[in-house]
A and B are shown apart, each in its own frame.
Chain A
Amino acid sequence: MNLKLKVWRQAHADDRGTIVDYDAKDIPEEASFLEMIDIVNEQIIEDGGEPIHFDHDCREGICGMCSLNINGVPHSKERGITTCQVHMRKFNDGDTIWIEPFRAKAFPVVKDLVVDRSAFDRIIAAGGYVEVRTGSAVDANSVPIPKDKADAAFDAAACIGCGACVASCKNASAMLFTGAKAAHLNLLPQGEPEKDKRVLAMVRQMDAEGFGNCTNQYECEAACPKEISADVISKLNRDYAIASAREAVS
């Protein structure tokens, strides 16, 4: 199949950047979306140009490295998958495809479609962990966790930290990410002792990174490749309110 691509090109962080048109020719429909860009890149390189830079690694939907806003939606309009899992058979011959980087002040563009998502690491460093020194753990079965709780924690833990929630949000809010990471640990008995401290620290770091805030439109939920529910945002709000109240009086 043949396609028209409109791709964001930006030489470096301080470059202004612009949309550039490319023709993607003879793309096999079994190819993945990233393989389609690979093919276009081979052509660009052979023609003496610099290939389109984009982040990617595992190419099986789990590492969270691939990004891309495809036709206005992070990881494409197809639900529950990452960009690397998008296949060309979902497009039609002659389609025009817009490819842009994830946009957010907290995710500055590094080059072309590559953005810097280290803000997420700093949110985790602020409190997204259980403080347990290696070797000091008790026997794994000494704390039973009801299956529904464990499952709910898992649903939140499924986050792969790709940043699609931020990219899809018109406010570039990281609430789904932060909510998921906090909910994962807050729901478990192991995470209970540090719950208040964790929530307060993570939210404050999230704000400091320059993410926007949630206006409850659930674009993030629709864009999340792991289909994490916006319930985690509700929980984050609740946990934050309770933690703030406790902090104020204790």
Chain B
Amino acid sequence: MALNSAIPSGPIDMKWTDYKANAPLINPANKRKFSVIVVGSGLAGGSAAATLSELGYQVKCFCYQDSPRRAHSIAAQGGINAAKNYQNDGDSVWRLFYDTIKGGDFRSREANVHRLAEVSTNIIDQCVAQGVPFAREYGGLLANRSFGGAQVSRTFYARGQTGQQLLIGCYQALEKEVARGGVQMYPRTEMMDLVKVNGHAKGIIVRNLQTGKIERHSADCVILASGGYGNVFYLSTNAMGCNVMAAFRAYKQGAYFANPCYTQIHPTCIPVSGDYQSKLTLMSESLRNDGRIWVPKSADIAAKLREGTMRAADVRDEDRDYYLERKYPSFGNLAPRDISSRSAKEACDEGRGVAKTGLGVYLDFRDSIERLGADTIKARYGNLFTMYEKISGEDPYSMPMKIYPAVHYTMGGLWVDYNLMSNVPGLHVLGEANFSDHGANRLGASALMQGLADGYFVIPSTLPSYLVNETPGSISTDMPEFKEAEEKVTERLDGLMKVGEKGKRTVDSFHRELGLLTWDKCGMSRSKEGLEEAIDKIPQIREEFHENVRIPGSAGALNMELEKAYRVQDFIDFAEMTCHDALNREESCGGHFREEYQFTEDDPEVQSGFTNPGEAKRRDEEFMYAAAWEDKGPGNKPELHKEDLNYEFVKPSVRSYK
């Protein structure tokens, strides 16, 4: 099927305006006849559900957590970008657009990104009106900071918990609509499958996690805002419950999955300390504003540090390698996430890593404490330092922090057009669950922006384009499609429980095995051999899973092992597809680094000093496209569909942060 991205014509800064001016409208009396299913209640899903309900649609919103307020958007620390230019430092919609395009390594869609930059300013207005307590100056006006390598201060923040505050605002708007009767909320409810009627997404089958009951829900369209797939790696900064099932089930139903290989590895997480570990904790990137990242110059010293025969504070300056400052003098410790992460891995691969496992680098505040005083540092990062101390048991005021990259965000997702609709008519995808705005790498403070842009401002304007051709209320859960879908779900669960009764290995042990393999072969750097090996091994994991997974209890009640089991079941299949994507993309860009494609001494860009050997090498001629994968059934390689990315307004360049 040809991919039609439905991008409006016209100049980039008029596309969205023109679109809105010409998009079909549904009159208020008719809106309330339409029903909408929203899966997920984070920033994207919650804001969409609340806003669509305000507009008059009947909304049903589902989340697996016990309350919509707990969606993982809540964990975002740093901030949210907006092109307000309150700081008068030369910011503009264009600049935010350009930075996002460049940050995404020229693998995102211009029109979507420009729209994102345009509505960014409305988001801040909306959130402030809801009572989101953004940081303020003494004059009472909003404060901004520079974040994630941006050269302007456009990030709005709420201490270290911007995500939580934005989500509370969104959740309160949602609860307001729940009280008004516009939204029916289904917490502790998980989408098990998508239901299509005549090829259109018209409903979902869910499992009530509390009772185990399987239920059918129909609507005139379905919106997925179910987040990313970072937990395919087992260890990530995602919440334990985050999973790809909703999006993956849509993929199984014919929706294309785009660019799954683009995964963001966040450079500043607390290193792994043992194999019992269940998740990784992110330390806000803002720490890089004052912390200096280093490893010892020699592997010998690193070995002593690992064994504990030497203390980090005793390493002499001339023995330290502040590698980011050395390699990227103008950005230094603030180099973008993908670049910082990869540099840390390189240093550790050379045997210069610290922490017991050898997988860690130092983030050192010694110099800034000397320069600004411990009090200033405490005022800026006190809560983060406390958090670090609680987890690691070490005092970061006297000993440098140890950090290591970890999976954090996934740029890939279900393919959507300009309307945020997938290739399955009626199925719309918002937030991290879609692929649209971040290209191959996401800039700091842009995830919150995208989630809210999609939910508050984009989908309310684009949804009528689909609905206007539909007859409201024409779908009923008594239709055979629903019955069939429900039976399939029940069959799947019965199958799992049957294996689970006799199986020997815990779900977690499979997840851990899959995660280690995926991290090793499809993590921070990938190679053809490695990916082929993973594609070979994943079916073995799947096979053993289907023979030997242990699932106690029953499917007809709260059963957290069963929940984990069906999520991991999909992660296994998903990992395979991701490896195919990574194997297909024979270039390095953003969060996808193929060892075969990096700059060497032979490249003119290196000779001219523009970039360093070892930096990611894009191949625009061959790979300037979004790779959208179509499911071809179990055991078969998915089929690739390409959406060519046409850069009409920005000229792609080598992304240099030197």
- Is B298's beta carbon under 8 Å from chain A? no
- For residue A194, give the distance in angstroms from its CB to the closest CB of chain B: 10
Residues of A within 8 A of B68 (CB): 121
A residues 141-172 in Cβ contact with B at 8 Å = 141, 143-147, 150, 153-154, 157-158, 160-161
Q: Are B558 and A111 touching (Cβ within 8 A)? A: yes
Q: Are B393 and A87 touching (Cβ within 8 A)? A: yes
Q: A48-B552, A50-B553 are in contact. Are A125 and B179 (CB under 8 A)?
A: yes
B residues 112-133 in Cβ contact with A at 8 Å = 122, 124-131, 133
- Is A126's beta carbon under 8 Å from chain B? yes
**C-alpha spacing A53/B557, complex, angstroms:** 12
- For residue A78, give the distance in angstroms from its CB to the closest CB of chain B: 8
- For residue A81, give the distance in angstroms from its CB to the closest CB of chain B: 6
Could you say which of B127, B276, B560, B561 contacts A39, with CB atoms under 8 Å apart? B276
Nearest-CB residue, chain B, relative to A63: B70
- Is B28's beta carbon under 8 Å from chain A? no
Residues of B within 8 A of A12 (CB): 557-558
Could you say which of A42, A58, A147 contacts B506, with CB atoms under 8 Å apart? A42
Residues of A within 8 A of B124 (CB): 140
Could you say which of B237, B240, B387, B456 contacts A134, with CB atoms under 8 Å apart? B456
- Is A209's beta carbon under 8 Å from chain B? no
Q: Are A144 and B278 touching (Cβ within 8 A)? A: no
Interface 9-mer from A1-9, A185-193, A232-240: A185-193
Inter-chain contact count A-B, CB under 8 Å? 215
- Is B164's beta carbon under 8 Å from chain A? yes
Q: A125-B176, A130-B130, A161-B69 are in contact. Are A89 and B47 (CB under 8 A)?
A: no
B residues 497-544 in Cβ contact with A at 8 Å = 504, 506, 508-509
Nearest-CB residue, chain B, relative to A190: B131
**C-alpha spacing A235/B480, complex, angstroms:** 56
- Is A242's beta carbon under 8 Å from chain B? no
A residues 32-77 in Cβ contact with B at 8 Å = 32, 34-35, 38-39, 42, 45-46, 48-51, 53, 55-65
**C-alpha spacing A155/B441, complex, angstroms:** 34
Residues of A within 8 A of B237 (CB): 60
Residues of A within 8 A of B10 (CB): none
Q: Are A126 and B387 touching (Cβ within 8 A)? A: no
Interface residues on A, range: 35 or more
Residues of B within 8 A of A103 (CB): none
- Is A23's beta carbon under 8 Å from chain B? no
Q: Are A154 and B133 touching (Cβ within 8 A)? A: yes
Q: Are A87 and B133 touching (Cβ within 8 A)? A: no
Residues of A within 8 A of B279 (CB): 59-60
Interface 9-mer from B101-109, B167-175, B258-266, B623-631: B167-175
Q: A87-B391, A111-B557, A147-B138 are in contact. Are A134 and B47 (CB under 8 A)?
A: yes
Interface residues on B, range: 35 or more
Residues of A within 8 A of B645 (CB): none
- Is B139's beta carbon under 8 Å from chain A? yes
- For residue B48, give the distance in angstroms from its CB to the closest CB of chain A: 10
**C-alpha spacing A30/B70, complex, angstroms:** 26
- Is B473's beta carbon under 8 Å from chain A? no
Q: A63-B72, A154-B159, A190-B129 are in contact. Are A128 and B54 (CB under 8 A)?
A: no
- Is A132's beta carbon under 8 Å from chain B? yes
**C-alpha spacing A144/B65, complex, angstroms:** 36
Q: Are B86 and A141 touching (Cβ within 8 A)? A: yes
- For residue A2, give the distance in angstroms from its CB to the closest CB of chain B: 15
- Is A223's beta carbon under 8 Å from chain B? no
**C-alpha spacing A154/B456, complex, angstroms:** 23
Q: Are B72 and A57 touching (Cβ within 8 A)? A: yes
- Is B438's beta carbon under 8 Å from chain A? no
Residues of A within 8 A of B136 (CB): 144-145, 147, 150
- Is B241's beta carbon under 8 Å from chain A? yes
Q: A45-B550, A118-B187 are in contact. Are A53 and B558 (CB under 8 A)?
A: yes
> Can you sample 21 A-B contacts with CB below 8 Å?
A12-B557, A30-B274, A46-B504, A57-B70, A59-B239, A59-B278, A60-B237, A64-B70, A116-B210, A118-B187, A125-B175, A134-B47, A137-B125, A137-B128, A137-B130, A141-B86, A143-B128, A150-B135, A154-B165, A157-B165, A161-B70
The 9 residue pairs across chains A and B that have the minimum distance between CB atoms: A144-B140, A137-B129, A129-B172, A125-B179, A140-B128, A137-B125, A154-B133, A125-B175, A57-B239
